[in-house]
Amino acid sequence: MTRTYFLSTPIYYVNDVPHVGHAYTTIAADTLTRSRRLRGYDAFLLTGTDEHGQNIERVARERGIPEQQHCDEISARFRELWDRLDVRYDRFIRTTDKVHKDGVLKLWARLVKAKCPDGRDAIYPGTYAGWYCPRCEAFKDEDELKQPGNICPDHERPCEWTEEENFFFRLSAYSEWLRERIEAPVDDPSRIRIDPEGRRNEVLAVIRQGLQDFSVSRARVKWGIPVPEQPDHVLYVWVDALSNYVTALGFANDGPDYRKFWGDEGPPTGEAAERSPIHSGEAKRGGPGGVRRSTPPTKNAAERGPIHSGERFHLIGKDIIRFHCLYWPALLHAAGVKPPNRFFAQGWITKDGKKLSKTTGNVIVPEELVARLGADAVRYFVLREAPYGQDWDFTDAAFVGRYNSDLANDLGNLVSRALTMVLKYCDGKVPPTTEPRGGTPEGDAVLTKYEALDFAGALAEVWRTISIANQEIVGFAPWVVAIDPERRTELNDFLYRQLDRIRLIAALVSPVVPRAAGRIFRMLGLRDPEPGPQDLVFGRLEPGQPLGTIEPLFPRVERDDPDSRNDRARKSDSPRASTKETTVSDTTPPAPTTATPAVQAPALENAVDKAADQIDIAEFAKVELRVALVTAAEKIQGSKKLLKLQVDLGGEQRQIVSGIAEAYPPDALVGKKVALVSNLKPAKLMGVESNGMVLAASIDGKPVLCTFDVDVPPGTKIR
C-alpha cells in the first residue's frame, strides 16, 4: 500500500499582501500534513501564488513597475510569512514558473485533443457575451448582479457588457460523471469527497441546476500563458491557476513526484512500468523525509481503510468551491489525469463581530500576531478557537486569554513542574523505571481527529491529558514521597511516567505548535527535536539521560485592562505586549478577487519587523526605570481600577495613572516607594494625563507593586 498523501492550499493571488485568511488555511494545511507524517505517511504539502491576470496587470501599472517585479515582491511576502509561521511546505509553486507554464501547455495540448463522454470535442471555439467583472475576472450571471447599474456583488462596481471570441470547455458534458463521483459511497475509490456536508450539498445543487460550459481563454488579457492555437489570447485562470496542483509535482515531464502523488488516469499509455507508485523516493525535499519514509505502516493505520492513502486533497475557501469541485476534476478527467479525491472548504474569520475589511480598518495582520505572541500561539489559537469549516470571530481578548490559560498555564506549567521535579529529585537525569517500555502507539484518537480536520477536538483531547497529568502531580505529591527513601522506586516510576507522557504530549501537539514541541524535546534531553511515528510509543526516554536546559515555554502576558484578565468574552482589550499599531493605507493594491476569503492586509510598505524574542542590553538600556515616592493618591472618577498618583522622583514631580485601585486603597500608597518606567511617552487614561508607568506583578489579575527591601532615595535609577 502506498502511503502517499498530497495536500494543497489554494494558490494565493498576488494582487495584495497575505492576510489572516491565507494564514488560517495554510496553518491548517501544515498541521494536517505534519499529523499525517506522525502516522508515517509520505506527505506532500503544496502552496504557492497565482500571478497572472488582468488584476496583476493593473496593480503593477498602478505601482509603476513591471508585472514580474510586482509578482516577485508579493510572492516573497507569502514565503516570508510561511517561514515566520513555521509552515513547512514541500513546494512553493508560482504560476510564472517555467515548470508551471510547461505543465499548463501539456495539459492544454491534451484538452484540445480530448473527447467528452458524449464524443464531442471537450474544447471548442465560441463567442462569449455577458456581464464581466474585471476584478473577479469573471462573467457574472445576470441574476447575481445588483440593480440598477449591473453591480458586481463582490466588488460593488459596475460590470461591463463584453463579447469576445474564445475557447470553451464543455463542462455540461461532465455533469453525470461529476455527480456519480460526488455521490459515490464512502468506500468507492472513485469517490470525490467534499466536506463539510453543507458544501457538498451546495455542489450537488449546482449540478442539478445544470452545468454550463465555461470559457478557458481570454482575448483582453496579456499577462498570462499564450494559447498556442491563438497567441493573442492567454489561458484563463481556471486552466492556468488550477493546473498548479499538478504542474508543481512535475506534470510537464511526468516527474517522479507527479507519478508518486498524483498520476494519470486509466490504463497507462505505454509507460506502464514507470507508472507504478514509488515507495522510496530520494529525500530531495526538505523536512523529516528520512524518518517518515523508513517507518513501516502501523497496523492501526493500515486498518483505517484506503481513504488516506493516495489522497489528492485540496483545502479551499468556501468561495471557490464551484471551480475546484466541478471545473477542476472535469478538466483533469478530460485530459486523462486523475481527479482530486478530497476537498475541504473552510470558513471565514470576522473580527469583533464584523467582517474584515481594509476599507473600514477592521483587519487582522498575521505578522503582528506572530510578533506579539509567537508563531505557535497564532497556530494554536486559530485552530483551537473554533471548529474548522465554520465562520468564527477573532478577538484580542480570546487570543491572549487562550495563550495564557492553555499554553502558559496548562501546557507550560506541566512541563516546568515535571522537569523541575526531575531536576530536584533525580539530579536532572531521566529516572529509571520498572514499567515495561514499548507497546502499541498511543494518541490514536488525537491523530484521527486531526485527519478529520477536527483540530479543535484533537487539541481538546490533548488538553484533557494535560489536565490529568497536572492533577496527578498534585495527587501524588512527589515532594512528600521524596522524603521517604523506601518510596524511591515509586517516585522514579512516577516521574518517568510524567516525563514520558510530556514527550508524548509534545509529539501530539507538534503538528500545531512545532516550535514548542521541539523545545520540549530538547528540554527532555532528546537529540532529535522532530517528533515522528516512533515517538508515539511509551518509554522512548532513556533512563540516565540528562535533561536539557529548562526554560519557560510560554511566558504569561498581560492585557492592559485588569478587569478583563482571564475573561475571554471581552471583545475590545488589546494586550500590553502588543507591538505598535500598523497603519492601514488605502493606497495599496485593490481587494483580492479570487481564491481567498474576503479579508485584506495592510500596505506593502508597512512590513512589520520580525518578531524578536530577545532583546540586547542596548535595547533594555532605552528603558529608564527609577524609584518614585508616592506623595498623593486618589481614585479617578468613573473607573474601578485607575488611580491618579502624584510621585516625587527626587525633586521632579510627576502625575501617573495606574490600574491598581482594586488592590490598593489610595491612602495605603502615600509614602510608598515604587518602581517607575520614567521615560514612557505621556498618555491619557480616562482623560487624565500619565507620565510614566508603575511596575507591578500580576497574580491572577491582581496587581502587586514592586517595592524595595531597603530604603532608597526617590529618583534613584534602577538597572
Selected catalytic residue, list 355, 424, 610, 702: 355
State the residue for C-alpha cell 489528492.
312
Instruction: Choose between 133 and 415: whose C-beta lies nearer to Zn ion.
Output: 133
Selected catalytic residue, list 71, 116, 136, 159: 136
> Do 293 and 533 meet the contact criterion of CB atoms below 8 Å apart?
no
Compute the least distance from the CB of residue 219 to Zn ion, in Å.
19
User: Looking at 127-135, 235-243, 510-518, 549-557, which segment touches Zn ion (CB under 5 A)?
Assistant: 127-135
Determine, following the binding rule CB under 5 A, whether residue 237 of this chain makes contact with Zn ion.
no
Q: What is the Cα–Cα distance from 460 to 455, expressed in whole angstroms?
A: 9
User: Looking at 50-58, 154-162, 221-229, 369-377, which segment touches Zn ion (CB under 5 A)?
Assistant: 154-162
**Is 279 annotated in the active site?**
no
Instruction: Choose between 134 and 714: whose C-beta lies nearer to Zn ion.
Output: 134
User: Looking at 47-55, 134-142, 330-338, 510-518, which segment touches Zn ion (CB under 5 A)?
Assistant: 134-142
Q: What is the Cα–Cα distance from 378 to 400, expressed in whole angstroms?
A: 10
Nearest CA to 630 out of 600, 674, 584 is that of 674
Determine, following the binding rule CB under 5 A, whether residue 135 of this chain makes contact with Zn ion.
yes
Determine, following the binding rule CB under 5 A, whether residue 154 of this chain makes contact with Zn ion.
yes
**Is 133 annotated in the active site?**
yes
Determine, following the binding rule CB under 5 A, whether residue 133 of this chain makes contact with Zn ion.
yes
Residues 20-58: b if buried by 16+ CB within 10 A, e if exposed: bbbbbbbbbbbbbbbbbbbbbbbbbbbbbbbbbbbbbbb
Strands 693-694 and 673-677: antiparallel
User: Looking at 33-41, 128-136, 577-585, 667-675, which segment touches Zn ion (CB under 5 A)?
Assistant: 128-136
**Is 338 annotated in the active site?**
no
Helix (H) or strand (E) run with residue 379 in it: helix 375-384
Residues 286-313: b if buried by 16+ CB within 10 A, e if exposed: ebbbebbbebebbeebeebeeebbbbbb
Instruction: Choose between 55 and 678: whose C-beta lies nearer to Zn ion.
Output: 55
In this structure, is the dihedral angle defined by the CA atoms of residues 378, 6, 242 and 254, taken in order, positive or negative?
positive
Compute the least distance from the CB of residue 581 to Zn ion, in Å.
30
Determine, following the binding rule CB under 5 A, whether residue 155 of this chain makes contact with Zn ion.
yes
> What is the crossing angle of helices 413-425 and 455-476, to 10°?
40
The set of cell numbers assigned to 202 is 451546495
Helix (H) or strand (E) run with residue 166 in it: strand 160-169
Instruction: Choose between 152 and 601: whose C-beta lies nearer to Zn ion.
Output: 152
Measured between its terminal Cα atoms, the distance across the chain in Å is 64
User: Looking at 32-40, 90-98, 135-143, 509-517, which segment touches Zn ion (CB under 5 A)?
Assistant: 135-143
Instruction: Choose between 498 and 593: whose C-beta lies nearer to Zn ion.
Output: 593
Compute the least distance from the CB of residue 26 to Zn ion, in Å.
24
Selected catalytic residue, list 52, 101, 116, 152: 152
Determine, following the binding rule CB under 5 A, whether residue 152 of this chain makes contact with Zn ion.
yes
Instruction: Choose between 152 and 178: whose C-beta lies nearer to Zn ion.
Output: 152
Determine, following the binding rule CB under 5 A, whether residue 131 of this chain makes contact with Zn ion.
no
Determine, following the binding rule CB under 5 A, whether residue 591 of this chain makes contact with Zn ion.
no
Instruction: Choose between 151 and 397: whose C-beta lies nearer to Zn ion.
Output: 151
Selected catalytic residue, list 260, 358, 449, 673: 358
Residues 6+ away with beta carbon under 8 Å from 231: none
Compute the least distance from the CB of residue 347 to Zn ion, in Å.
21
In this structure, is the dihedral angle defined by the CA atoms of residues 442, 443, 447 and 452, taken in order, positive or negative?
positive
Strands (E), 213-353: 214-215, 217-218, 226-227, 230-235, 311-317, 342-346, 349-351
Compute the least distance from the CB of residue 136 to Zn ion, in Å.
3
Helix (H) or strand (E) run with residue 47 in it: strand 42-50
How far is CA 474 from its chain centroid?
35
Residues 6+ away with beta carbon under 8 Å from 542: 430
Instruction: Choose between 144 and 648: whose C-beta lies nearer to Zn ion.
Output: 144
Compute the least distance from the CB of residue 154 to Zn ion, in Å.
4
Q: What is the Cα–Cα distance from 385 to 657, expressed in whole angstroms?
A: 34
**Is 116 annotated in the active site?**
no
User: Looking at 146-154, 392-400, 436-444, 584-592, which segment touches Zn ion (CB under 5 A)?
Assistant: 146-154
Instruction: Choose between 593 and 690: whose C-beta lies nearer to Zn ion.
Output: 593
Strands 354-355 and 349-351: antiparallel
DSSP 564: G
Q: What is the phi/psi pair of residue 314, to 5°?
A: -110, 120
Instruction: Choose between 136 and 421: whose C-beta lies nearer to Zn ion.
Output: 136
Instruction: Choose between 114 and 598: whose C-beta lies nearer to Zn ion.
Output: 598
Compute the least distance from the CB of residue 137 to Zn ion, in Å.
8
Determine, following the binding rule CB under 5 A, whether residue 23 of this chain makes contact with Zn ion.
no
**Is 308 annotated in the active site?**
no
**Contacts with Zn ion: how many residues (CB under 5 A)?**
6
Residues 549-578 that bind Zn ion (CB under 5 A): none
The set of cell numbers assigned to 60 is 503593477
Contact code string over 81-100 relative to Zn ion, x by CB under 5 A: --------------------
Residues 6+ away with beta carbon under 8 Å from 699: none
Instruction: Choose between 154 and 451: whose C-beta lies nearer to Zn ion.
Output: 154
Q: How far is CA 514 from CA 161, 465, 628, 694, in A?
A: 51, 18, 44, 36
Nearest CA to 229 out of 123, 306, 302, 353 is that of 123
Selected catalytic residue, list 71, 116, 133, 159: 133
Q: What is the phi/psi pair of residue 115, to 5°?
A: -110, 140
User: Looking at 130-138, 274-282, 485-493, 507-515, which segment touches Zn ion (CB under 5 A)?
Assistant: 130-138
DSSP 536: G
Selected catalytic residue, list 22, 70, 100, 233: 22
Q: How far is CA 568 from CA 385, 396, 406, 489, in A?
A: 11, 9, 12, 43
Instruction: Choose between 596 and 691: whose C-beta lies nearer to Zn ion.
Output: 596
State the residue for C-alpha cell 534531553.
525
Among 136, 371, 507, 625, binds Zn ion (CB under 5 A): 136
Compute the least distance from the CB of residue 597 to Zn ion, in Å.
15
**Is 314 annotated in the active site?**
no
Strands 625-635 and 673-677: antiparallel
State the residue for C-alpha cell 507554464.
101
Nearest CA to 154 out of 699, 595, 568, 619 is that of 595
Active site residues: 19, 22, 133, 136, 152, 155, 355, 358
Given the rule CB under 5 A, which residues bind Zn ion? 133, 135-136, 152, 154-155
